[in-house]
């Protein structure tokens, strides 16, 4: 639905058709009731008009069945909006298992994209057709919003934390990418394009754009340069927790409680190490806030992730490794 209807953007993701339907349903019900109310206002104005000077309307008694009817029917309709909308919302917020993960950093005024395999892009995002793609996003400065109308996805991108969105493209081609949160002088220019390619073309593109090192390898280099290993490597002098197998695991915290070592926790532990210290360790790590860019933080997290853990990504070269498992479904998953 909605194809060729000029008021809607083109539809190029698995959500688009259903969102168009839901939007159409909301619009249809609104128009129906608006029409009904206008018609009745006019009809009643004529039907119950004052016919003579001495015209006195009869008092009317309430009718419980009528009251119940016009309460329950709108309630059921309103709940159908809610039920359908909530169901679709949760599906749009929950990426399927094993998506292709890509990192995005927004800054005044550009989108910087990092692929696990290494390639980086500015104001462009290349993705394969028919595969769920999950974006983990943050901002280097102010609030931005990542918006691809053709996919019907929009998510605020905030400084100091990670937000995610996911989509599955159902059509190859180029689609507009916008910033949808006013972020300064060049907000209106902060955009670009999303290029959806066939899985084979995407693999070729990945190879062609390869910068020589993967995201995790870049992270490992940064990790070494900052001397993280002096505290986090195994050994009798280790003053910090081991990072092998950490990603996605549950960490017991000093002072009680636990935390899941996801991207957000790892980021916090680098820029604000005292916030949630692992049980059994002293609060001695200095903060790295301001010393590592958001891209660098994502690289280090990718490195820690490559060291294994409950939700780790297989490293490059391992079986089922960095090459994303492509489900080649010609025509996409719709
Ligand atoms: Cu970034 Cu508006």
Query: Running along the chain, 334 residues long, what does each successive block of 10 average in pLDDT?
Result: 67 89 94 95 91 80 89 94 94 89 91 86 91 92 93 92 92 92 91 92 77 77 79 73 81 83 84 82 80 84 79 43 38 36
Given this chain, do its domains 100-208 and 215-306 carry the same CATH topology? no
Ligand 1 atom with the shortest distance to the CA of 188: 2
CA dihedral 80, 81, 84, 88 (to 10 degrees): -170
Ligand 1 atom with the shortest distance to the CA of 157: 1
Tokens of 299: 């690289």
Predicted confidence at residue 244, as pLDDT, reads 79
Q: Which residues pair with 169 in a beta bridge?
A: 13
Burial of 117 (0-12, 13-18, 19+ CB in 10 A): buried
C-beta of 322 in contact with ligand 1 (< 6 A): no
Distance CA(21)–CA(105), nearest Å, equals 32
Q: Is the peptide bond before 165 cis (omega within 30 degrees of 0)?
A: no
Rounded alpha-carbon distances, angstroms, from residue 293 to 107, 210, 224, 225, 297: 11, 21, 16, 14, 6
C-beta of 190 in contact with ligand 1 (< 6 A): yes
**For residue 310, which of 241, 250, 242, 233 has the smallest C-alpha distance?**
250
Number of Cβ atoms within 10 Å of the Cβ of 38:
10
Distance CA(274)–CA(276), nearest Å, equals 6
**For residue 13, which of 180, 138, 146, 128 has the smallest C-alpha distance?**
128
CA 211 to ligand 1 center in whole angstroms: 27
Predicted confidence at residue 6, as pLDDT, reads 72
C-beta of 179 in contact with ligand 1 (< 6 A): yes
Distance CA(199)–CA(332), nearest Å, equals 10
Which parts of the chain are beta strand (E)?
Answer: 100-107, 110-115, 120-122, 124-128, 132-139, 144-148, 153-157, 163-168, 173-179, 191-197, 250-252, 258-260
Domain residue spans of the chain: 1-38+67-94, 100-208, 215-306
CA 156 to ligand 1 center in whole angstroms: 10
Ligand 1 atom with the shortest distance to the CA of 181: 2
Instruction: Look up the pTM and report it.
Output: 0.73
Number of Cβ atoms within 10 Å of the Cβ of 211:
14
CA 115 to ligand 1 center in whole angstroms: 22
State the CATH class of domain 100-208. Answer: mainly beta
Pairing of strands 153-157, 124-128: unpaired
The CATH label, of 2.60.40.10, 3.40.50.11140, 1.10.600.10, 1.10.760.10, for the domain at 215-306 is 1.10.760.10
CA 113 to ligand 1 center in whole angstroms: 15
Tokens of 138: 């943050």
Q: Whose CA is nearest to atom 1 of ligand 1?
A: 144
Angle between helices 263-271 and 294-306 (to 10 degrees): 120
Q: Produce one character per residue of 135-151: b if its CB has 16 or more CB atoms within 10 Å, e if not.
A: bbbbbbebebbbbbbbb
């Amino acid at each position: 639905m909605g194809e060729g209807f000029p008021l809607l953007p083109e539809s190029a993701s698995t959500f688009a058709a259903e969102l168009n339907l839901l939007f159409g349903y909301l619009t249809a019900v609104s128009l129906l009731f608006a029409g009904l109310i206008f018609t009745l206002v006019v009809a009643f104005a004529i039907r119950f008009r004052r016919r003579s000077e001495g015209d006195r309307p009869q008092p009317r008694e309430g009718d419980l069945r009528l009251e119940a009817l016009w309460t329950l029917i709108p309630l059921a309709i309103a709940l159908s909006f809610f039920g359908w909308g909530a169901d679709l919302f949760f599906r749009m917020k929950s990426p399927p298992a094993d998506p292709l993960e890509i990192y995005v950093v927004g800054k005044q005024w550009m989108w910087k994209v990092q692929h696990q395999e290494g390639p980086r892009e500015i104001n462009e995002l290349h993705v394969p057709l028919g595969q769920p793609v999950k974006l983990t996003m943050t901002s280097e400065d102010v609030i931005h919003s990542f918006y691809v109308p053709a996919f019907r996805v929009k998510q605020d991108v905030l400084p100091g934390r990670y937000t995610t969105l996911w989509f599955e493209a159902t059509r190859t081609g180029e689609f507009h990418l916008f910033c949808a949160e006013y972020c300064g002088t060049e907000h209106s220019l902060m955009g670009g394009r999303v290029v959806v390619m066939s899985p084979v073309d995407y693999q070729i593109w990945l190879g062609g754009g390869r910068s020589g090192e993967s995201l995790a390898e870049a992270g490992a280099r940064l990790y070494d340069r900052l001397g993280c290993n002096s505290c986090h490597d195994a050994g009798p002098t280790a003053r910090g927790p081991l990072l092998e197998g950490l990603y996605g695991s549950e960490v017991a915290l000093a002072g009680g409680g636990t935390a899941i070592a996801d991207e957000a926790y790892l980021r916090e532990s680098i820029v604000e190490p005292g916030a949630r210290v692992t049980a059994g360790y002293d609060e001695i790590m200095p903060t790295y806030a301001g010393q590592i860019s958001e891209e660098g933080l994502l690289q280090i997290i990718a490195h820690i992730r490559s060291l294994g853990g409950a939700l780790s990504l297989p490293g490059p070269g391992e079986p089922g490794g960095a090459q994303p498992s492509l489900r080649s479904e010609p025509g996409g998953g719709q």
